Structure 1
Amino acid sequence: MEVTLNGYYTLILATLVLLLGRFLVKKVKFLEDFNIPEPVAGGLVAAVIVYALNIIWGYSFIFQQELQTACMLMFFASIGLSADFGRLKAGGTPLLIFTAVVSLFIVVQDIVGVSMATLLGLDPLLGLVTGSIALTGGHGTAGAWGLTLEEQYGVVGATTLGIAVATYGLVAGGVIGGPVARRLINKLGVEPEPVNPNPSETEKLASKQSLYSTKHNEEDAYRNKEIFEKPDNIRLITASSTIESLALFAAALAFADFMTVIGKDTWFDLPTFVWALAGGVIIRNVLTTVFDFHMFDRAIDVIGNASLSLFLAMALLSLKLWQLTDLAGPVLIILMVQTLVMVLYVYFVTFRIMGKDYDSAVLSAGHCGFGMGATPTAIANMQAVTDRYLASPKAFLIVPMVGAFFVDIVNATVLQIFVNLPFM
């Protein structure tokens, strides 16, 4: 029996899923420790309930697709509107080098995914889902590309698989980052910072001042950029800044719709969400560079974060877990191989190319985080390392900038090339 829910009920259920996720993350330590996003925590529980209703009573639910699509496009537009290429100056050459290292890994990740999927008798496009779509891309990219693969390429269960793989990646990225960095640091001979059991008041004050300075340097470099997994962080926005930002979103979405129509059946026939991201990048950098326009980053963050949370909640409500039954074994093998490749890459490539020093080891921990999971996982990995050893302002400057938006731009480009290859 199919139950169709209109936009109102879809939105109500999505918000309930988000509230459930917030409750679970606060109460379950595992979810908090591994930075599992609230929409994912609540959404997976909802997906299991929907699965049980289907198995026991035969119910299936159809949710309002247009609302989900709109939220997805808003999220990708927010990434583009946040991608200020002027910030490249703050990171300098190391930022460019790290972006190149990460970009090469995206290609490696997709080659491994497609090769393993083909070897195991799966659709090569599912190899992309177990590659950079879900691992480097995370839940947002997994949901967006999942819909595209299902609707345009007929890949059954792509969204369900992508969400599952992205969740695995969050955990795996958090598990491997610290041990890899510690092994690299031990090779360098760097000792952990000694802990003074009875610090003087002067030492306490100096420590607080150092922490304050480091945090504020990072914030200045990153302009208080936030990610959706931290929805409770306060951002000071106004009604006027929100309206102006919504106008920018509208322009990016209009650009995406226009380019999707004129690009149909041509060499630049791209998914609409890729054009939304590209539109945001163009609008942002033209306005700030040519017209010296002040962008309201906080408002863009809030709108983008809310859109992504709602999109994920609706995507997870729509999951059909029964579609994963036959894929479980082969997918697990691919994910084990991907995890090993991630470890070897950061150990022999990221660490060496970034300078073979302490900062490189911390960057390697961060790369494990967003190469398998998401930017918050990368930050948590680096914090675990620097709390034990030394501070690394360089790593905390570079990783958020690359992980938050530059990697999404590169990933979208690489994936578009892969899906158009003759053997796919």
Structure 2
Amino acid sequence: MVFEFDVLSTLLLTILCLLFGSELKKRVNWLQRFCIPSPVIGGFLVSILIWILKILDMASFQFDTSIQGYLMVAFFTTVGLGGSFKILKSGGKLLFIYLCVCWFIAFFQNTFGVGIAMALGIDPVLGVMAGAVSLTGGHGGAAAFGGMAEELGHSSATIAALAAATFGLISGSLLGGPVASYLIKRHNVKIEANDDLHMPMSTKGQPLPAIVDTTGFLKMLALILLIMVAGRALSNYFTEVTGFSLPSYVGAMLVAVVVRNVNDGLKVVEIQEKSIDLISGASLGLFLTMAMMSLKIWELSEIALPLFIILALQVIALLLMTIFVVFRLLGKNYDAAVMCSGLLGHGLGATPNAMANMTSVCDRYKLISTKALMIVPLSGAVLIDIVSIPYHTYLINFFS
């Protein structure tokens, strides 16, 4: 049997999965202790169920996830609206260090993947596909550069890259929270605010209450939608002029940063943080749940053993690097632990996974690391491409 879900029914199932994941997290202690994000819990369980039904040849499912992209753009717009120059300036040295870490990882993952592929006697380009192309690049990078590699004669590059991205997405979502918890416990990290940019949370893990009225909420929603439209136009224009693709969520985040800082000076609109937080939490939760429940896990079984070996070693390498090197470079404090959870999220999967990991850690310890929530997406979604995209292109062409 084939079950087809239209946009409305897909959205309904997504909400139910998210609520189920949230409720299960409350009831299962180890899920809270290891900071596993609620969207990952609910969405991943559904994807496993779908996989089992497919293996048993009992049923298959088709989801209309056309709204998924809009949810992602909405979330990154809210991230940009939090990006006042005061916060970005406060990143200072920490932003530079984290960005250098991202650049190094992009370089390392591709080089490491190629080296292992050559040692195993397989096409080096498949090593690139199991490197930063799919791990830091996610499914978007996998599809784009997989197609490029196939045009240059490397068969199965796209399916290998997409399968690797799926592997990384799952790994990054499951490891980020537990690693942050381990680092905090292992190093006796104090859960304290180092500056006035940190936002204390209530005992229920939510930001301290503020009044939300319908009119104010709709104003913030209208502002976010306006920025999303402008961000899409900016991304399209940039692509036409330069020939390089700028994701619409990046364009929206950049426009949002400009709008926030101009508004801080002119006071045109009152920014209602609580309303933005609600939109941010809902859009991220729904996006990631939808992404997880629509994962085609069976693609992992199609990976040849050598490719699986490369991916397993990539995960181990980044895990060790994060625990023993990056955490120390970032200062061995609460911000550093939260950022490490984010690094595993986007270093193995995608930036939304990084944000979900960090949000889950902040919920667990009742303190929002505003630095982490700004520095990680800015570096992992935008600035990392300065090094990664040219290096992807160079390696694919070099081995073709």
Q: Is the shorter-chain TM-score for this pair beyond 0.5, marking a shared fold? A: yes
CA contact (8 A) 1:25 1:31 kept: yes
CA contact (8 A) 1:172 1:339 kept: no
Aligned to 1:413: 382
CA contact (8 A) 1:78 1:249 kept: yes
Paired residue secondary structure (1:62): strand
Asked if residue 98 in structure 1 is aligned to residue 94 in structure 2, the reply is: yes
Aligned to 1:165: 171
Aligned to 1:404: 373
Paired residue secondary structure (2:100): helix
Q: Which amino acid counterpart does residue 62 of structure 2 have in structure 1? A: I
| 1:76-95 matches, cutoff 5 A | 76-88=76-88, 91=90, 95=91
For 1:19 and 1:377, the matched residues in 2 are separated by 15
For 1:348 and 1:404, the matched residues in 2 are separated by 19
Q: Which amino acid counterpart does residue 181 of structure 1 have in structure 2? A: H
Paired residue secondary structure (1:295): coil
- TM-score for the superposition, normalised by structure 2: 0.77
**Alpha-carbon shift at residue 2 of structure 1 (Å):** 4.8
Structure 2: gaps of 5 or more residues: 118-125, 148-157, 346-356
Aligned to 2:348: none
Q: Which amino acid counterpart does residue 375 of structure 1 have in structure 2? A: M
Alpha-carbon spacing, 1:347–1:180, altered in 2? closer, same or farther (3 Å): farther
Alpha-carbon spacing, 1:231–1:127, altered in 2? closer, same or farther (3 Å): farther
- TM-score for the superposition, normalised by structure 1: 0.73
| 1:102-181 matches, cutoff 5 A | 102-121=98-117, 122-128=126-132, 132=136, 145-147=138-140, 149-150=142-143, 153=147, 154=158, 155-157=161-163, 159-174=165-180, 176-178=182-184, 181=187
**Alpha-carbon shift at residue 131 of structure 1 (Å):** 5.0
Alpha-carbon spacing, 1:58–1:320, altered in 2? closer, same or farther (3 Å): farther
Aligned to 1:262: 237
**Alpha-carbon shift at residue 380 of structure 1 (Å):** 8.1
Asked if residue 285 in structure 1 is aligned to residue 261 in structure 2, the reply is: yes
CA contact (8 A) 2:17 2:43 kept: yes
CA contact (8 A) 2:25 2:32 kept: yes
**Alpha-carbon shift at residue 405 of structure 1 (Å):** 1.8
For 1:52 and 1:330, the matched residues in 2 are separated by 26
Asked if residue 344 in structure 1 is aligned to residue 324 in structure 2, the reply is: yes
Choose the corresponding residue for 1:317, options 282, 293, 314. 293
- Identity fraction in percent: 22
CA contact (8 A) 2:82 2:260 kept: yes
CA contact (8 A) 2:75 2:280 kept: yes
Decide which moves more: 50-59 or 158-167. 158-167
Alignment size in residue pairs: 355
Alpha-carbon spacing, 1:347–1:238, altered in 2? closer, same or farther (3 Å): closer
Give deviations 1:41-78, integer Å, cap 9, x for gaps.
Answer: 01110000110111111643221132111111111111
For 2:320 and 2:239, the matched residues in 1 are separated by 39
Give deviations 1:249-269, integer Å, cap 9, x for gaps.
Answer: 112211122123323354253
Alpha-carbon spacing, 1:131–1:2, altered in 2? closer, same or farther (3 Å): same
Alpha-carbon spacing, 1:309–1:98, altered in 2? closer, same or farther (3 Å): same
**Alpha-carbon shift at residue 348 of structure 1 (Å):** 5.7
Alpha-carbon spacing, 1:51–1:345, altered in 2? closer, same or farther (3 Å): same
Give deviations 1:68-115, integer Å, cap 9, x for gaps.
Answer: 1111111111111111122356x4xxx411222222211222222222
Alignment RMSD, CA only?
3.3
Moved over 6 A (4+): none
Q: Which amino acid counterpart does residue 297 of structure 1 have in structure 2? A: E
CA contact (8 A) 1:180 1:343 kept: no
Aligned to 2:226: 251
Decide which moves more: 368-377 or 263-272. 368-377
For 1:232 and 1:16, the matched residues in 2 are separated by 23
Alpha-carbon spacing, 1:170–1:130, altered in 2? closer, same or farther (3 Å): farther
CA contact (8 A) 2:71 2:286 kept: yes
Aligned to 1:4: 4
For 2:327 and 2:176, the matched residues in 1 are separated by 19
Structure 1: gaps of 5 or more residues: 134-144, 186-191, 193-210, 352-359, 385-395
Q: Which protein shows a greater Rg? A: 1
Q: Which amino acid counterpart does residue 139 of structure 2 have in structure 1? A: G
For 2:140 and 2:134, the matched residues in 1 are separated by 15
